Amino acid sequence: MKFSEQDQLPVITLVGPPNSGKTTLFNCLSGKNFKTVNYPGSTVEYTTSKIHSKYGIDALLLDSPGIISLNPNSPDEEVSINSLFNHPDYGSPNLVITTVDSSQLSRHLLLAEQLLESGFKVIVVVTMIDLLAKRGFRVDDTILSKELGCDVISVDSRHGIGINNLIDIIKIRLAENGSTISLEPKPNISFKKKEELLNLFKTIEAIEQKVIFPINNFSREQLESANKKLKILNPTLKYGSNRPDENTLKIDKFLLHRTWGLFFFFIIMTFIFMSVFWFAEPFMSLIDELFGFLGLLTTNLLGDTWYGHLIADGIISGMGAVLVFLPQILILFLILGLLEDTGYLARGAMLIDKPLSKIGLNGKSFVPMLSGFACAIPAMLAARTIPNKRERLLTIFIIPLMSCSARLPVYVLLIAFLTPPSKAWIAGLALASIYIFSIIGSLVIAGIVNKFRRNLIKTEDTSSFILELPAYRLPRLKNVMRSTYDNARQYIQRAGLIILVLSMGIWFLTFFPNHTPHINKTGLSQEQILQLEKAERLSNSYASTLGKFIQPVMRPLGMDWRIGVSLISTFAAREVFVSSLALMFKVTDEEHLQSSILSAMKNAKNEDTGQKLFTTATIIGLIVFFIFALQCLSTVAVSKKETGSWRIPILQVVIFTSLAYFLAFLTVNGLRLLGVQ
């Protein structure tokens, strides 16, 4: 067994169902502000920290992934439960603290009972006592402690209520056996039969009736009489402690309505999309301009040298490629955090679950997919909220098919080639059609991949969508901000280095062998000279050689090596296609860049055939190619980090790029057969 350097410290593991206040309690005891999630990969990650020094306990605290019971329903849950009994780094815990939502006792006490039966030393922490108090009820800790045979403490971690009592109990229990657990816990396998499980739930419901009391001086008879006038969702509950919050019921009449619920859902999701897409744009432009300025400053200081270009166009530009997505990530996770804290995110997942289940996904996949229209990188990070491994990997797999904002400049340029400037409505209709087509295409591919998932996504994880709808609450802005910061930090740490290295690789291909261009500088400005130098350098670079090498591949699409070089350049970022075309066709008028590129495209000739290079058929073929192709190395890097291996990102690049080429080939040649040129 492997132990960490802190193996001499007593280990306290926090266990509890999702949304039971477990991580909030962890933050309170540790003084940290972590948010534990089940990350993808072969192992389950635990958040660890020492208990805050102000409490006077020298112990290690582990916040484990949420589980409903000790009977696993998926491989991820099985790993979590096995790690609870015998963690690969810390072994068996000296003490287990299990969180129980006071408004969900009939469900959450199952895990507590199983932990006690398995031989763990358990402290039950009753959470959400403020929500129960709003309904006029409280939990009697003394009676519940006698019924369970363990310590029970009611706690409000958000406001620190009951924490000192919990600390006192922890000190007593750790002192009883020092740092050695007295009983080796064994996995609980006694609840396999349906009858036994039903009997256990009946026992738990009986316990609940004994420990729930009204706060006000009402008699049981008065409460029963009042409850008869209300709609009781579970007739076995006498006193209504599990009854949903009245304000929550009123709000859900609209937000979970069969018709209006979907309307409000799409309004809210549209707001998320617009926020990530539009609100982030000024900040992204500012970051882009900042790194552009730094690159230009470096070039002026170091001159036209290879190391000057390395720092300016390789390192600084690579750092810009990492940080330019940061505003989108911050805005996305800020909004998602607010929606999750209020309780709406679970309801949105429930509303959209049924249609997505037809293609092997569930409701929790919708928000990451929607976010993909802004950027695939934060969308893949948002997929961490999907607990089912197969559905999480399938969601990550299809996210690059969403038409991200980086494709927008490409679509705008290509649509502008096809539509007259005086009829902007045609261009708008064409752009909307592209997005609709990308959605339909992604759903079709998701359905196909789901059929062959055992070969493409190697996991036997079964799908289930069981979701408790929490009561609506005001979000804790401090926790949401901290969670947003943590997600942004993880993006930079996990994907930043890979993106930087890949960006420098693209720079190497487009810069070397560093041919010295001979340009007639008469009558040209400094900026125009620099543009022409870049164009000449790119025309003689390794990327150009590679583009000429793939000329036979481009020929069936009616394109030549120059478009091939532009497509290779898009692996740094899709929007680079526009600037790369400007370089390849030596466009130097930056003030009227789009009109100049369009003019150059209309006059461009295919070097092999002498015919027009850009036609209606080839332009539509390029649009189809961009809809399906994965040309963003940043996305590949994040996909590798989020899936835990290179298997899925390599499959994404190969499958999507091959599919994009095949469909572009059919489009171009099909339109030619129909006489469209």
Other CB atoms closer than 10 Å to residue 654's CB: what's the count?
Answer: 11
CB-based contacts of 102, cutoff 8 Å, min separation 6:
126, 127, 128, 129, 131, 132, 139, 154, 241
What's the average model confidence in pLDDT over 244-249?
Answer: 69
Tokens encoding 113:
């009972």
Q: For residue 661, how many C-alpha atoms fall within 13 Å in the half-sphere facing its CB?
A: 15
Alpha-carbon gap, residue 434 to 444, rounded angstroms = 15
Q: Is the pLDDT of residue 652 over 80?
A: yes
What's the average model confidence in pLDDT over 509-526?
Answer: 66
Which domains, ranges and CATH numbers included, belong to the chain? 11-244 (3.40.50.300), 260-404+418-453 (no CATH)
Point out the least confidently predicted range of 94-98, 165-169, 372-376. Answer: 372-376
Alpha-carbon gap, residue 8 to 19, rounded angstroms = 31
What is the pLDDT, as a whole number, of residue 98?
92
E strands, 259-398, in order? none
Alpha-carbon gap, residue 63 to 476, rounded angstroms = 20
Tokens encoding 315:
């390192």
Tokens encoding 250:
């009123």
Tokens encoding 20:
């039971």
What's the average model confidence in pLDDT over 153-167?
Answer: 83
Q: Looking at beta carbons, which pairs linking 640-647 to residues 24 or more positions away fall under 8 Å?
A: 640/498, 641/494, 641/495, 641/498, 642/39, 642/40, 642/380, 642/381, 642/383, 642/384, 642/396, 643/40, 643/41, 643/393, 643/396, 644/40, 644/41, 644/42, 645/41, 647/458
Alpha-carbon gap, residue 109 to 99, rounded angstroms = 9
Alpha-carbon gap, residue 597 to 152, rounded angstroms = 72
What is the pLDDT, as a whole number, of residue 518?
62
Q: Using the structure block, give the residue that is written with the tokens 């998932």.
A: 453
Comparing C-alpha atoms, which of 339, 401, 327 is closest to residue 370?
401
Residue with the bigger pLDDT between 182 and 430: it is: 430
Point out the least confidently predicted range of 46-50, 88-92, 180-184. Answer: 180-184
- Tens-place pLDDT, residues 340-370: 778 777 777 777 777 777 777 777 787 788 7
Query: Tell me, what amino acid is at 74?
Result: S
Burial of 347 (0-12, 13-18, 19+ CB in 10 A): buried
Residue with the bigger pLDDT between 226 and 618: it is: 618
Burial of 592 (0-12, 13-18, 19+ CB in 10 A): exposed
Burial letters 258-296, b for 16+ CB under 10 A, else e: eeebeebbeebbeebbebbbeebeeebeebeeebeebbe
173 to each of 102, 308, 491, how far by Cα in Å? 23, 63, 40
First-to-last alpha carbon distance for the chain, in angstroms, is: 69
61 to each of 3, 14, 48, 68, 76, how far by Cα in Å? 15, 7, 6, 20, 21
603 to each of 198, 216, 561, 614, 615, how far by Cα in Å? 77, 84, 16, 8, 11
β-sheet bridge partners, residue 97: 14, 123
Comparing C-alpha atoms, which of 333, 409, 401 is closest to residue 372?
401
- Tens-place pLDDT, residues 131-145: 777 777 888 888 988
What's the average model confidence in pLDDT over 99-117?
Answer: 86
Q: For residue 547, how many C-alpha atoms fall within 13 Å in the half-sphere facing its CB?
A: 23
β-sheet bridge partners, residue 125: 99, 153
Comparing C-alpha atoms, which of 500, 273, 457 is closest to residue 382?
273
Torsional sign, CA 235, 236, 239, 244: negative
Alpha-carbon gap, residue 284 to 328, rounded angstroms = 8
- Tens-place pLDDT, residues 579-623: 677 666 666 554 555 677 788 788 888 777 778 888 999 999 999
What is the length of the chain?
677
Comparing C-alpha atoms, which of 624, 673, 633, 668 is closest to residue 652?
633
Q: Is the pLDDT of residue 236 over 50?
A: no
Q: How far is CA 670 from the centre of its chain?
A: 38
- Tens-place pLDDT, residues 277-311: 577 778 877 887 888 788 788 878 887 677 777 78
Alpha-carbon gap, residue 371 to 383, rounded angstroms = 10
What's the average model confidence in pLDDT over 658-671?
Answer: 93
H or E segment and range at residue 96: strand 95-101
Alpha-carbon gap, residue 36 to 63, rounded angstroms = 7
Point out the least confidently predicted range of 21-25, 536-540, 651-655. Answer: 536-540
Comparing C-alpha atoms, which of 411, 335, 404 is closest to residue 376?
404
What is the pLDDT, as a whole number, of residue 75?
54
Burial letters 443-461, b for 16+ CB under 10 A, else e: bebbeebbeebeebbebeb
Q: Is the pLDDT of residue 11 over 80?
A: yes
- Tens-place pLDDT, residues 91-102: 888 899 999 988
Query: Tell me, what amino acid is at 507?
Result: W
What is the pLDDT, as a whole number, of residue 660?
92
Point out the least confidently predicted range of 181-185, 211-215, 260-264. Answer: 181-185
In this prediction the pTM is 0.57
Q: Using the structure block, give the residue that is written with the tokens 């300025």.
A: 293
Other CB atoms closer than 10 Å to residue 67's CB: what's the count?
Answer: 23
Comparing C-alpha atoms, which of 315, 325, 334 is closest to residue 288?
325
